[in-house]
Structure 1
Amino acid sequence: MSALIQHTEPAPTRLPPDWSGIGGCALPVAPGTATGLLDSHALVLTVTGPLFAEVDFIEHLCGPGTALWIRPGQAVRFGEPPDDTATIVFRRGLFGPDELPDLVPDDPSGPAARPLSLPGPEILRAAFAHLTADADGPPGPVTAALLRHQLAAVLLRLRSLDPLTDPAGHVEGRTFERFQRRLEEGYPHTRRVEDYAAELGCSVRTLTRASLALTGRTAKQVVDDRVALQARRLLAATPLSVAEVGRILGFGEPTNFGRFFHRETGLSPGQFRGGSTTAGPGGIPEQRHPAD
C-alpha cells in the first residue's frame, strides 16, 4: 500500500466509552485509504499477522506476534487486518505521571512505538480478550477499576519487553524528557528554542546537547520537526485548508507557512496533500538536516 497522501474524508476513529475510558475493537481506524487522527491511545496486537500499519507516515508491517502502541494525535492508516487482530483503546490522562514505574503513558515516546516482537503473544492475547470481554459487560465503578488494573498490567508488560534505551536517571535524558513534554504544549505558539530553555530554566546549549544526545538532532531541529509533523497530520487527515493549518500552528500568513513546510519537507502543502511522487520512496519526504 502506497504511502502517498490522497486526501479523503477524515477516517472515523474508535473512542473508548466514557464510563471507563477503556474499550476494545478490531482496529481504532477502519482499514482502507483514509488517514485518521487518533483521539485516544490504541494498543494493536497481531497474533498471526501480517498487518500493514502507517503511523505518522512511516510504514510498518506488523508480523505474527507483535504489539504496536499508537498515541493520541498520531496519523494512522491500516490495511486489511487478520481475523485475530485485537485493539485496546484508552483515553489520555487515564494514568498519572507517577502512577506506573518507568512509564508515563501520555508521553509522546514510550514502549512499542514501533512493532514490538513478543516472546509469548498468547499471554497478551489472553489479556486483551479478558479486558475486551469485561469492557463489553455491565458498566459500573467496580468494572471500571478492574479494567484499569488490567490495562496497567498490559502497559507494564510492554515496558518490561521494551525497556528505556536512556535511563531516567541520565541527566540529558531527564532534560530532553522535560523538553519534549513542554514542546507538546508549546509548539503551536512558539518555535523559539530560547522560549523553551527559559521555561525549563536552562540554556539553549543545554537543550541542544540533550537533544543531540537523545535524537541526533539539535533542539531547533526537534522543534521544527514537531511543527512539520503536525502540519502533515492535519493536511493528511482533516479537511482544514492550508491557511487554517498554518494559523493553528502559529503562522500569521499562509506564505510563511508554505515556506516553512517546503523547507522542512521539500514539498508545498498542496503537493503533500495531493500525493506528489517527487519526494522519494513512498512520496513522504525525509527530515531535513539543516545547519542551525
Structure 2
Amino acid sequence: MDVADFAELRERGERREIDLAAPQRPDFHHLIHVAGDAEPLPHSVDFATHVIEPGGWLWVRPGQVHQYAAEPGGALTRSHGAIVIWRPGFVTIDPPLSETPVLPTRSTAHLVDLARQHLFAEYEELGTLTLEEHNRALRMLLAVLLLRLAHASPELPSAAPPDGPFARFHAAVERDFTRTHRVADYAAALGYSTRTLTRAALAASGTTAKAYLDARIILEAKRLLVHTDNTSADIARHLGFENPGDFNKFFRKHDGRTPLAFRAEARGTTER
C-alpha cells in the first residue's frame, strides 16, 4: 500500500516522465481524496468525467482507464489531497462503494475522517511494529476506511445478491465476453433461461442482459483503443470478432463513431 499527496504525485510523474493528464490503466486500486478546504478535482474514469468535491472520495478500480483533467495549470496543482494506492488482494473486503464520487454526509464525515487520519498516521509510523505487523495494521485500517465510505453516502445503491443470477451473469461476462457475445450461451452455461438473466439484469442494472453484455464489450474496446496502440483489427480479434468490419459496425452502432475516430477524439489527436 502507498499514500501520496497531490504534490508528491506530481513530482513522481515529472521524475518518471509520466503525463498524468494522459489515459492510464493501472492494475492497482486508486482511492482519491480531495481535502475539505481544497478546489474540486475533475477526474475521468472509463470516459465519464466526475468532479470530486472538497471532502469527497473517488475509488478507481484496477483495469479502469482514468486520467486527471488536462486543464491550464493542471487540476492537481490547484487542488490538494491524497491518494491511497494498493494492489489487488491487499485487503479482502470489497464493500459496495459507488463508482461515482462519494461525499460523506455531515453525520458520517467525522467518522470517515477519523478512519483516514488513523490510516495515514499508521502509514507514516515505521519502526514501532515489525513490517508484517505494520502491513497487517494497514490492511485493517484500509478496510475500515472503505467500510466507512461505503456507508457514508445517503444513497447507497442496492447490491444484487452475491450468489444470485445477476452476480453469476456478471462474473461470467467478465470471464468470457471476449469469447462469446450471445446471452443464450451464458444462460446455458449458468443453467438459467435468457428471460431469467434479462429480468435479473433489468433489476440490478436497469438494462437488458444483452445491453449489459454489449456495454461491457464496448467498454473494453474503448479502454484498448485509448490505452494501447493496437490496430482496430487487432482489438476486434481480441474481443472475439471474426471480421474487423463487424467490430466497426458494432462499435459505431453503440458509440456513433468509428473505433479510430473515438481513439483520435479521446486522445485529442487527428484520426489517421
TM-score range, shorter chain: 0.7 to 0.9
2:98, 2:156 within 8 Å by CA — same for their partners in 1? no
Separation (CA, whole Å) in 2 of partners of 1:234 and 1:56: 11
1:134, 1:147 within 8 Å by CA — same for their partners in 2? no
Distance 1:90 1:137, change over 3 A: farther
1:148 aligns to 2:139 (yes or no): yes
Which one of 102, 121, 138 corresponds to residue 116 of structure 1? Answer: 102
TM alignment of 1:1-292, pairs within 5 A: 22-26=1-5, 32-47=20-35, 48-79=38-69, 80-81=75-76, 82=78, 84-96=80-92, 100=93, 104=94, 110-118=96-104, 119=106, 120=109, 122-134=113-125, 140-162=131-153, 164-168=156-160, 174-275=164-265
TM-score, normalised to structure 2, is 0.80
1:49, 1:62 within 8 Å by CA — same for their partners in 2? no
2:160, 2:204 within 8 Å by CA — same for their partners in 1? no
TM-score, normalised to structure 1, is 0.75
1:243, 1:254 within 8 Å by CA — same for their partners in 2? yes
What SS does structure 2 have at the residue aligned with 1:59? Answer: strand
Residue 205 of structure 1 aligns with an amino acid whose one-letter code is R
Offset, 1:129: 2.1
Task: State, as a whole percentage, how many aligned pairs show the same letter.
Answer: 34
Unaligned runs of 5+ in 1: 1-21, 277-281, 283-292
RMSD over equivalenced CA pairs, Å: 2.8
Q: What number of residue pairs does the alignment pair up?
A: 244
What SS does structure 2 have at the residue aligned with 1:234? Answer: helix
- Runs of 4+ in structure 1 off by over 6 angstroms are 135-139
Offset, 1:260: 1.2
Which moved further from structure 2: 127-136 or 198-207? 127-136
Offset, 1:124: 4.6
1:242, 1:254 within 8 Å by CA — same for their partners in 2? yes
Residue 219 of structure 2 aligns with an amino acid whose one-letter code is L
